[in-house]
Amino acid sequence: MASGFFALLDDIASLMDDVGAMSKIAGKKTAGILGDDLAVNAEKASGFISDREIPVLWAITKGSFINKLIILPVAFLLSAIFPMAITVILVLGGLYLAYEGAEKIYEYFFPHKHPKVKSVNTHLSKQEILSVEEKKIKSAIITDFILSVEIVIIALGTVVKQPIGTQIMVVTIIAIVATVGVYGIVALIVRMDDLGLKLIALNGEKRSITNAIGRFLVAALPWVIKSLSVIGTIALILVSGGIFVHSLEWLHHWVNGIPSILGELIAGAVIGFLCLLAVMLFKKLKEAF
């Protein structure tokens, strides 16, 4: 009886070791897309009046958890019934990521006009502010759903050959860590300027350390968001390239002779711009007819 109990504990410990090891691998695979997730959500959560930033961010975070509650069972079901679907969805997700990265690069060099987004300001009534907030929250949750699908599928792709129990534990851990980590960092980012203003007003002395740190935080916020956008774009190309290189055997052989990060960057960029060209041609044809 005792030996059976200790054998069970040994099996559990072995399982947890496997889960921990696979979680690290899955975490590395999804790290790139988290950069884009972070940049997008930092942008989505900004633009609100100071005392509404955290409530809005909390509403988006709850929506993100609901998204993952929807996505995870579907992903595990596909993995159990039709594992090949994970690879197909992974490649399709890679095409979307590559296209998005290429579109951002194209937009940087050849910018086009976008409709102005109405931002929340203090001149609106309380009802109008809540209405604008609700629209931005819905938009952020939809964006989060797309990114969450990509994160879950990429994580699942790393453990698709493992037992279903290991898959569930690893991917669930990644989903929770991704949500808590991303939105926790976003909360810190969107409150940077408020913390800076409080430090500036702390003692009223212009040559104090708190004043210098406060001014640095206020001035750094726009640069942090811009930097995240650049990092996120590079991450999109690298992550998508990694998906293509590791999922498509013929492409893996083509880039086998060069450093892996360079091969993934080239693959992601080339396929991304091909997708962008295809979308642009489709739009032109649609306008013509």
pLDDT (average), residues 114-141: 66
Taking the C-alpha atoms of residue 179 and residue 173, their distance in angstroms, rounded to an integer, is 10
Residue 137 confidence (pLDDT) above 50: yes
Distances (CA, A) of 5 to 1, 11, 35, 239: 6, 10, 44, 44
Let me know: does 59 contact 123? Beta carbons within 8 Å: no
Candidates 193, 188, 190, 186; CA nearest to 217 is: 193
pLDDT of residue 48: 63
Residue 77 confidence (pLDDT) above 80: yes
pLDDT of residue 117: 46
Phi, psi of 165 (to 5 degrees): -65, -45
274 pLDDT band, cuts 50/70/90, is very high
Residue 4 confidence (pLDDT) above 70: no
Tens of pLDDT, residues 23-40: 555 555 555 566 666 666
Residue 231 confidence (pLDDT) above 50: yes
- Whether this prediction's pTM lies above 0.85 is answered by no
Q: What mean pLDDT is reported for the chain?
A: 76
Taking the C-alpha atoms of residue 212 and residue 262, their distance in angstroms, rounded to an integer, is 40
Tens of pLDDT, residues 98-119: 898 899 899 888 886 655 544 4
